[in-house]
């Protein structure tokens, strides 16, 4: 019996949840939506735990933040209540009858995550805003723990990996189609591209980042095996829809991250030794160091603006650090993050506190037309400088260790996976590339504090853990 036939009631409950929540939220009844329809999700999660966990893949691209209807109370429905419920369920089940396999606790990805979370806890104690930091830590826990621990168990069944990816790219295709149709009404204008994805996404930057992940995964799913004509046509339609959504997101970082991921893919396929890559990096770094003055002169000549709808000019604007307000504001945020780190190098100002502290570190000469004197413009626009300012140098080290371990285990798993099983070898390869798009994008933006990025990223990490254990078991059985 197929997944869809086995779980028709869960799919029905999920469809009702999405439809009724959307209707109530659209009519300014977000709280009623949470109170009434949430019972459906609770019932499904308790009696169909594995199936509801997989449905997170579909629900994440379609989740809605109720912040604008609740006077600043931010919560993504229906995903965050489900993730928090899974967190409670895991602790309850683990203390009552342990179900997380021992190999999961010992896995390097889990250990590096534990190190990261441990330092978040320590820096939260030393925070300038303790309450804010512990709320931030709690949110991190319900994003990471369910996806990693429960994910490692659910994805032990290989078919669940394909199901989750299918659901995720399908949800993203629905959100992308909605956005493209909405955008079409404004003749695909650049200004409108910043908000036409609402209410599913806050703005075009996070939208572009998640679309890039979904695009790479959809291509990987298509190339992983041969399908019947109907399934093949459906996958091709999803790829085209997501590809169009990526283009009209007008997100430079997303476009560049996909190109960079393609380069990384070539490097992995050609098995270029790390020593060669390190040597090339050092060589280019030396050239950059001695040619910095000339480079600055060239950059100063670049007047391309990110507000253009032309693909080539928009990409060129990524290096405009003279007149492009978006680039200049990002540099200002990075400078503030660095200044915050210099003042609090060990513990930082506390997890989640950047937006509350960076205003006083803005230099008047660096302010742009989109800067705010009160510093209420958001975060540090970096998955690396943000932790540096909020959790100090040790915090940045834990992030770098985590990212390094994630890619090391993913690439090593791809290389070790048997060539006879091209289906999952291909999926592993494209999961590594999908992660590459995000962590390359992470130099310019940070979204792991949202369900949109956290669920697919940590979900793929859990897939690596499950697949590595499967590979080890098969080697033992064949020895």
Cβ atoms of 109 and 405 closer than 8 Å: yes
State the pLDDT at residue 20: 61
Instruction: Provide the total of helices (H) and of strands (E) in the chain, helices listed first.
Output: 21, 2
What is the three-class DSSP state of 26? Answer: helix
Average confidence (pLDDT) over 330-350: 93
Q: How confident is the model at residue 475 (pLDDT cuts 50, 70, 90)?
A: confident
State the pLDDT at residue 328: 81
Q: How confident is the model at residue 71 (pLDDT cuts 50, 70, 90)?
A: low
State the pLDDT at residue 265: 95
**Kindly report the CA angle at 199 between 196 and 204, in degrees rounded to 5?**
45
Average confidence (pLDDT) over 233-238: 96
Q: Give the pair of three-digit tokens for residue 185.
A: 């009404």
Average confidence (pLDDT) over 405-424: 95
Cα–Cα dist 270/266, whole Å: 6
State the pLDDT at residue 21: 61
Look at residue 388 and tell me whether its pLDDT is greater than 90.
yes
Cβ atoms of 196 and 251 closer than 8 Å: no
Look at residue 208 and tell me whether its pLDDT is greater than 80.
yes
Look at residue 308 and tell me whether its pLDDT is greater than 60.
no
State the pLDDT at residue 97: 87
The values of phi and psi at residue 362, to 5°, are: -75, 130
Q: How confident is the model over 126-152, as pLDDT tens digits?
A: 999 999 999 999 999 999 999 999 999
Q: Give the pair of three-digit tokens for residue 74.
A: 């931010």
Look at residue 29 and tell me whether its pLDDT is greater than 60.
no
Q: What is the mean pLDDT of the chain?
A: 85
Taking the CA atoms of residue 17, residue 21, residue 22 and residue 25 in that order, the dihedral angle to the nearest 10 degrees is: -170
- Spacing of C-alpha 379 from chain mean position: 15
Taking the CA atoms of residue 306, residue 310, residue 311 and residue 316 in that order, the dihedral angle to the nearest 10 degrees is: -50
Cβ atoms of 337 and 382 closer than 8 Å: yes
Average confidence (pLDDT) over 56-74: 81
State the pLDDT at residue 173: 97
Give 371 or 158, the one with higher predicted confidence.
158
| Max avg pLDDT among 13-27, 60-74, 431-445 | 431-445
Taking the CA atoms of residue 243, residue 249, residue 250 and residue 254 in that order, the dihedral angle to the nearest 10 degrees is: -70
State the pLDDT at residue 427: 97
Look at residue 466 and tell me whether its pLDDT is greater than 70.
yes
Look at residue 89 and tell me whether its pLDDT is greater than 90.
no
Q: How confident is the model at residue 322 (pLDDT cuts 50, 70, 90)?
A: low
Give 287 or 73, the one with higher predicted confidence.
287
Q: How confident is the model at residue 9 (pLDDT cuts 50, 70, 90)?
A: low
The values of phi and psi at residue 77, to 5°, are: -105, 140
State the pLDDT at residue 179: 96
Q: How confident is the model at residue 78 (pLDDT cuts 50, 70, 90)?
A: confident
Which parts of 225-291 fold into alpha helices (H)?
229-247, 252-270, 274-290
State the pLDDT at residue 102: 92
Look at residue 13 and tell me whether its pLDDT is greater than 90.
no
Average confidence (pLDDT) over 92-109: 92
In this structure, the number of other CB atoms found within 10 A of the CB of residue 356 comes to 14
Global confidence as pTM = 0.88
State the pLDDT at residue 47: 67
State the pLDDT at residue 292: 55
Work out the percent of the chain whose per-residue pLDDT is above 90.
57
């Amino acid at each position: 019996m197929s997944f869809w036939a086995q779980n028709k009631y869960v799919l029905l409950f999920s469809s009702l949840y999405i439809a009724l929540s959307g209707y109530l939220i659209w009519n300014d009844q977000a709280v009623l939506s949470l109170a009434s329809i949430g019972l459906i999700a609770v019932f499904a999660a308790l009696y169909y735990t594995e199936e509801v966990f997989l449905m997170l893949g579909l629900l994440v691209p379609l989740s809605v933040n109720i912040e604008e209807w609740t006077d600043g109370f931010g919560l993504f429905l229906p995903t965050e209540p489900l993730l928090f419920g899974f967190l409670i369920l895991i602790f309850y089940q683990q203390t009552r009858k342990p179900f997380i396999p021992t190999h999961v606790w010992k896995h390097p990805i889990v250990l590096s995550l534990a190190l990261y979370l441990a330092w978040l806890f320590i820096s939260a104690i030393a925070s300038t805003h303790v309450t804010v930091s512990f709320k931030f830590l709690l949110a991190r826990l319900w994003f990471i723990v369910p996806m990693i621990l429960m994910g490692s168990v659910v994805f032990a069944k290989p078919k669940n990996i394909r199901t989750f990816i299918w659901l995720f790219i399908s949800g993203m295709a629905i959100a992308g189609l909605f956005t493209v149709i909405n955008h079409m009404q404004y003749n695909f204008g650049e200004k409108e591209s910043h908000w036409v994805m609402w209410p599913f996404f806050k703005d075009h930057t996070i939208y572009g980042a998640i679309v890039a992940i979904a695009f790479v995964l959809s291509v990987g799913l298509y190339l992983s095996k041969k399908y019947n004509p109907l399934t093949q046509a459906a996958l091709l339609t999803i790829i085209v829809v997501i590809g169009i959504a990526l283009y009209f997101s007008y997100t430079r970082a997303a476009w560049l991250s996909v190109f960079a991921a393609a380069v990384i893919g070539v490097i992995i396929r050609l098995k270029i030794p790390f020593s060669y890559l390190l040597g090339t990096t050092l060589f280019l770094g030396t050239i950059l160091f001695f040619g910095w003055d000339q480079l600055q002169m060239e950059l100063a000549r670049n007047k391309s603006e990110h507000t253009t709808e032309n693909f080539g000019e928009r990409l060129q604007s990524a290096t405009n650090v003279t007149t492009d307000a978006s680039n200049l504001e990002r540099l200002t945020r990075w400078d503030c993050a660095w200044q915050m780190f210099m003042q609090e190098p060990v513990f930082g100002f506390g997890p989640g506190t950047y937006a509350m502290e960076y205003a006083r570190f803005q230099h008047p000469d660096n302010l742009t037309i989109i800067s705010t004197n009160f510093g209420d413009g958001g975060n540090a626009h970096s998955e690396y400088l943000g932790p540096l300012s909020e959790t100090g140098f040790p915090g940045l080290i834990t992030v770098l260790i985590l990212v390094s371990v994630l890619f090391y285990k993913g690439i090593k798993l791809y290389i070790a996976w048997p060539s006879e099983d091209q289906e999952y070898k291909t999926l592993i390869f494209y999961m590594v590339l999908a992660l590459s798009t995000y962590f390359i994008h992470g130099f310019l933006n940070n979204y792991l504090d949202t369900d949109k990025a956290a669920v697919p990223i940590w979900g793929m990490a859990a897939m690596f853990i499950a697949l590595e254990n499967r590979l080890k078991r098969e080697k033992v059985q064949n020895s």
